[in-house]
Chain A
Amino acid sequence: MKILIPTPLRPYAEKRASVEVSASTVGEALHTLTTNNPELRRHLFSDDGRLRAFVNLYLNDEDVRYLEKENTPVGESDTLSIVPSIAGGRISGGR
């Protein structure tokens, strides 16, 4: 299946916009993704292993929170989108 990486998280995923993984659930797909890109893990999960509240996951166009969350089954042709909240274009160190 395909996982779409949003721009803010690409630096932690070898600058890639999408990655292909094989998995049978959303949780498995994320596990593979963060195993291959360990830096991504702390951006997606809190220390207790829960998905962070400012990151949403969509299987195709549906929020996995309203499916079976991490246990949602996935197929080869599915696309998982990681959609973090973004605030704006201001450079954080500037005015």
Chain B
Amino acid sequence: MAAILGTPAVTPALSNEEILRYSRHLIMPEVAMEGQQKLKAARILCIGAGGLGSPVVLYLAAAGVGTLGLVDFDVVDFTNLQRQVIHTTADVGRKKLDSAAEKIAAINPHVDVRPFETRLNSENALQLFREFDLVVDGTDNFPTRYLVNDACVLSGKPNVYASIFRFEGQASVFATEAGPCYRCLYPEPPPPGLVPSCAEGGVLGILPGLLGVIQATEAIKLVLGFGDPLINRLLLVDAQTMRFRELRLRKNPECPVCGPRRTITKLIDYQQFCGIRGQEGPASHRVPEIEPEELRRRLERGEDVFVLDVREPHEYQIVNLGGHLIPLNDLPRRMHELDSSREIVVHCRSGARSGRAVEFLQQAGFRKVKNLRGGILAWADRIDHGLPKY
């Protein structure tokens, strides 16, 4: 393949300890001393130290990438541990950056870890990317994905991409001269209302492992300049059937950021672009709400309050308030189960889906319907501490 990355300015020498450490690379003709030196000279920036970022930086550190930048501002919590394998139970409550940097140093003290405790944004992205040869996108939201892509295109850095949903993943290498960028595929993100709700969310813990390792592989190949990188191809991974499919990608001549008639020549406001600004937070801000304490008082007084749970049946099994279960998606065709003359309190996990349910019911003519603020999570926090949270 033609080299995607330029030759490093300096080829750093390896110490005897490093030669021993990397011996299984050094005896491979595809890597050899020259390749290992390229890895040591390489500067890779990983956005996010979560599900994808964990295997990415673990493997890149072990492989001997000399400089690993890491952008994250999050703190480890218990729900991360099912997939974010760089963090341990003892790390809960710590900054992900601290936890990850510590593991990287333990795996390979020769790696220069550059932690950036910040939310990547239009103000800092280009400056940050300048210091690195390529970027690995391990983010989990559309605004940051478009930001990473545009900043990669504008700064001429390859974007090693993967994303995951439940048991499906996608991977590619974007923003190289030889191939398309993320916007060539998807000029625009989905409007907020149309992305799968939290009911359909979730991810099989191994999936970011599979996809993150693919990203690490591609990053290393780009550095070494060997093999066929995942350029002009979108790899689809389905862990459920364990099928890998490949789709052909092309540079979109109409692409707004990398096409010949580009309209985006600098970074924009990505929150707004993704329709998030202006309707920050769930619909619950626009619909009548009831606090958990108020609901408890009214139930205790024996008032006639009908509790409607709009989560999925498998969520109901985890924890419930004994409410009547109608998943949000089923509400339109099961509305007849509800009595519009009664007072109805709708809840979900955290209040977003139930906010949409209240909105929907209001439009359908229900007048006495309220959203339980904060959902069953708030109930568990403030009313019944014995309930499990998820």
For chain B, residues 95 to 117, give those with C-beta under 8 angstroms from any C-beta of chain A.
Answer: none
- Of A25-33, A58-66, A68-76, the stretch lying at the interface with chain B is A58-66
On whether A63 and B190 interact (CB within 8 A), knowing A7-B166, A56-B185, A87-B141, the answer reads no
Q: Is A49 an interface residue (CB 8 A)?
A: no
Give the shortest distance, in Å, between A92 (CB) and chain B (any CB). Answer: 5
On whether A87 and B250 interact (CB within 8 A), knowing A93-B351, A93-B353, the answer reads no
In the complex, chain B residues whose CB is within 8 Å of the CB of A6: 168
- Of B2-10, B199-207, B216-224, B334-342, the stretch lying at the interface with chain A is B199-207
Question: Is B234 within 8 A of A83, CB to CB?
Answer: yes
For chain A, residues 67 to 95, give those with C-beta under 8 angstroms from any C-beta of chain B.
Answer: 81, 83-95
Partner of B163 from A42, A53, A56, A87 at Cβ < 8 Å: A87
Question: Is A53 within 8 A of B207, CB to CB?
Answer: no
Q: Which of A56, A81, A91 has the most CB of B within 10 A?
A: A91
Q: Is B362 an interface residue (CB 8 A)?
A: no
Inter-chain CA distance A61–B255, complex, in Å, is 20
Residue-wise, chain A 18-49 has the 8 Å CB interface mask toward B (1 for contact) of 00000000000000000000010011000000
Give the shortest distance, in Å, between A91 (CB) and chain B (any CB). Answer: 4
Residue-wise, chain B 239-257 has the 8 Å CB interface mask toward A (1 for contact) of 0000001111110100000
Give the shortest distance, in Å, between A45 (CB) and chain B (any CB). Answer: 11
Q: Is A52 an interface residue (CB 8 A)?
A: yes
For chain B, residues 341 to 390, give those with C-beta under 8 angstroms from any C-beta of chain A.
Answer: 348-353, 375
In the complex, chain A residues whose CB is within 8 Å of the CB of B200: 7-8, 11
Give the shortest distance, in Å, between B214 (CB) and chain A (any CB). Answer: 15
On whether A52 and B79 interact (CB within 8 A), knowing A63-B250, A86-B168, A92-B352, the answer reads no
For chain B, residues 182 to 202, give those with C-beta under 8 angstroms from any C-beta of chain A.
Answer: 185-190, 194-198, 200-202
Q: Which of A11, A81, A93 has the most CB of B within 10 A?
A: A93
Question: Is A85 within 8 A of B349, CB to CB?
Answer: no
In the complex, chain B residues whose CB is within 8 Å of the CB of A91: 198, 201-202, 349
Number of interface residues of A (CB under 8 A): 32
Partner of B140 from A12, A54, A85, A88 at Cβ < 8 Å: A88
On whether A89 and B207 interact (CB within 8 A), knowing A8-B165, A61-B248, the answer reads yes
Partner of B186 from A12, A54, A61 at Cβ < 8 Å: A54
Partner of B194 from A43, A66, A86, A93 at Cβ < 8 Å: A43
In the complex, chain A residues whose CB is within 8 Å of the CB of B353: 93
Question: Is A85 within 8 A of B166, CB to CB?
Answer: no
Question: Is B250 within 8 A of A54, CB to CB?
Answer: no
Question: Is B170 within 8 A of A86, CB to CB?
Answer: yes
In the complex, chain A residues whose CB is within 8 Å of the CB of B246: 61
Give the shortest distance, in Å, between B253 (CB) and chain A (any CB). Answer: 10
Inter-chain CA distance A56–B252, complex, in Å, is 13
In the complex, chain B residues whose CB is within 8 Å of the CB of A95: 74, 77
Q: Is B139 an interface residue (CB 8 A)?
A: yes
Q: Is B323 an interface residue (CB 8 A)?
A: no
On whether A89 and B186 interact (CB within 8 A), knowing A8-B196, A61-B247, A66-B250, the answer reads no
Question: Is B350 within 8 A of A94, CB to CB?
Answer: yes
Question: Is B140 within 8 A of A87, CB to CB?
Answer: yes
Q: Is B226 an interface residue (CB 8 A)?
A: no
When C-beta atoms are compared, the residue in chain B nearest to A86 turns out to be B165
Question: Is A92 within 8 A of B201, CB to CB?
Answer: yes
In the complex, chain B residues whose CB is within 8 Å of the CB of A66: 250
Nearest 3 Cβ contacts at the A-B interface: A88-B140, A89-B203, A53-B188
What are 5 pairs between A and B in contact, CB < 8 Å? A61-B247, A87-B140, A88-B165, A89-B201, A93-B348
**B residues apposed to A, CB below 8 Å:** 51-52, 74, 77, 79, 83, 139-142, 145, 163-168, 170, 185-190, 194-198, 200-203, 207-208, 234, 236, 245-250, 252, 282, 329, 348-353, 375
